A and B are shown apart, each in its own frame.
Chain A
Amino acid sequence: MGGLAMSATSVLFDAPGPRARRASLVGSIVSGIALVAGAAWIVALLAAPRQSGGITLPGMFDASRWDIFLDPEVWTFIGAGVVATLQAAAVAAVGAIALGVVFSLMRSSQLPWVRIPTAVMLEFFRGMPVLLMMLFILLVASTGAFWAVVIALIIYNGTLIGEALRAGLAALPRGQREAALSLGMREFQSKLLVEFPQAFRQMLPIIVAQLVVLLKDTSLGYIVGYNEIIRSNMNNLASFFGNRYLFSLFIVTLVIYLTINLLVSWFARWLSWRTASGGHLTKDVGAAPGTADPTSTIRLMQASAAARQSEDTRHG
């Protein structure tokens, strides 16, 4: 049972007896062998020398395809690409959270002439590709590639973070706001000092998950001409050292991205686990069982559904 005990699947079948355990073991061994064989096949395919126009080229794991990584200058160059990516991501992350706060406050405003245009604007930004937005900024505002990437990411992710925060605000128990108002706070004070901090904490895992998306999306800079990791590794380095290194450079780029993203993802999961275990609001937002699974879409969906419900009871 072990690992599956938390999910619903474990109640689907009886505790395995000797026969079921044997079947599971056999299944494990068979699929394990199939997976290892598949992996070995791919590795063998990659390692085999290849023929191209009568010339035999070395396999993908041949030292002659990897020797550039002994050169510290190559690593300096790769480091510059990593810094460029992180720089764009950091500036965009700060901007996106700030814009998200503003959007969420505007979107949940009491004034219809603020709330409704904001809703339309958010819908507009949310529905189009970030890449198109980058192109727009690049051509119309003619900023450099860096700012085109950063501003588009700020607008796009700010919209999504704003939507998450709004859902968090609306899903708060109404008593919070009533208590604040009865203490004599103004609407805006209550929102800023009482409701917002709680919503922010509640939605923190979703915000961090969105920042992973933002980090991944900086790679779109490749298409609009910003020298981030992919462009600096795969375009500049590969064309400098030749096509021979395309595969090894790809692997290095992939490993760099996976390392950064997995670290941030795990941080998001840890945060989500922390807020889920400590936050007393969890039961209001995620009434459904099985919310131990920190899938952000589901959490956001539940939050926005709860928000909609409480809005319906408030206005209707």
Chain B
Amino acid sequence: MAQLWSLMPQFWEGLRATLLLLAVSGGLALVLGTLITAMRISPVPVLRWFAAVWTEVARNTPLTLVFFFTAFVLPMLGFRAPFLLLAFVALTYYTSPFVAEALRSGINGVPVGQAEAARSIGLGFGQTVSLVVLPQAFRMTIPPLINVYIALTKNTSVAGGFFVVELFASTRQLVNDNGNIVIPILVLAAALYLAITVPLGLAAVQLEKRWVVSR
């Protein structure tokens, strides 16, 4: 126990990197995903097509391969940056289509009658979108978005395989150094991940419930 306790600084360091990855790539993915969604529902066919291709390609590429690209191929091409920065790029790219899909299904989930009613009482495009459609879409988007962020939390562990010292990487290091307490270390690491994902999951369930009642 005392030995496990003495490892806390390394765990903390790893957890901090994981949280940093989650916050930064989560924020960037939200921006990029919103942009993709805007293209996806825009009246310009070329942009719609581009957004569809982006979503399809990014969703069907394994995260490991994306990380491989940012960690090995990009530097080979002459684009050098700290590995943490490259991990932000990889996670943002990989998460963006999932964010876009969550947002889009939220917008599609607003009954057509709502927009029709808004139009028929004389609201213009801007008013219909900002006053009627988006507030409803936003509410329906939150639970699936939370699920996207839960997945992102777990996905940050892949960065540990590509030179970023986050929770997974520091756990692996600790396990290598402390062969006598392998199981406690792994269980503690799992518990730290759960400490992030379980509250998020509970929040999603609560919001879902409210969303169902409001219909």
Chain A interface residues (CB < 8 Å from chain B): 3, 7-9, 11-13, 16, 20, 24, 27-29, 31-32, 35, 46, 50, 60, 123-124, 126-132, 135-136, 139-140, 212, 216-217, 219-220, 222-223, 230, 234, 243, 246-247, 250, 253-254, 257-258, 261-262, 265, 287-290, 293, 295, 297-298, 301, 304-306, 308-309
Contact = CB atoms under 8 A, between A and B. Distances in A.
Contacts of B144: 295, 297-298, 301
Interface stretch (B5-13, B21-29, B64-72, B81-89): B64-72
B108 A13 contact: no
Q: Which 4 A-B pairs have the closest CB atoms?
A: A223-B161, A261-B60, A129-B157, A219-B62
Contacts of A24: 43-45
B161 A216 contact: no
B168 A305 contact: no
B108 A7 contact: yes
6 contacts: A12-B119, A12-B129, A129-B155, A216-B61, A219-B64, A305-B208
Contacts of B48: 3
Contact of A290 (B47, B101, B105, B168): B105
Nearest to B195: A127
Contacts of A253: 65
Contacts, number: 201
B189 A219 contact: no
Given A35-B46, A212-B60, A132 B190 contact: yes
Interface string B163-201: 000001001100100000011001001100110011001
A219 B155 CA distance: 13
B122 interface: no
A135 B186 contact: yes
Nearest to A6: B108
Interface residues of chain B: helix, strand, loop or mixed (majority): helix
A46 B172 contact: no
A35 to B, nearest CB: 6
Contacts of B168: 129, 131-132, 135
Contact of B128 (A3, A12, A287): A12
A119 B200 CA distance: 17
Given A8-B111, A127-B190, 12 more contacts: A7-B107, A11-B119, A12-B125, A16-B43, A24-B44, A29-B46, A31-B50, A212-B60, A222-B64, A223-B160, A261-B60, A290-B109
Interface residues of chain A: helix, strand, loop or mixed (majority): helix
A282 B144 CA distance: 20
Contacts of A234: 68, 72
User: Interface size for chain B: under 10, 10 to 19, 20 to 34, or 35 or more residues?
Assistant: 35 or more
A139 B44 contact: no
B36 interface: no
B1 interface: no
A84 B14 CA distance: 32
Contact of B198 (A35, A127, A257): A127
A246 B109 CA distance: 44
B193 A128 contact: yes
A243 B76 contact: yes
Contact of A247 (B62, B76, B129, B161): B76
A132 B44 contact: no
A139 B150 CA distance: 26
A289 B112 contact: yes
A133 to B, nearest CB: 8
B209 A219 contact: no
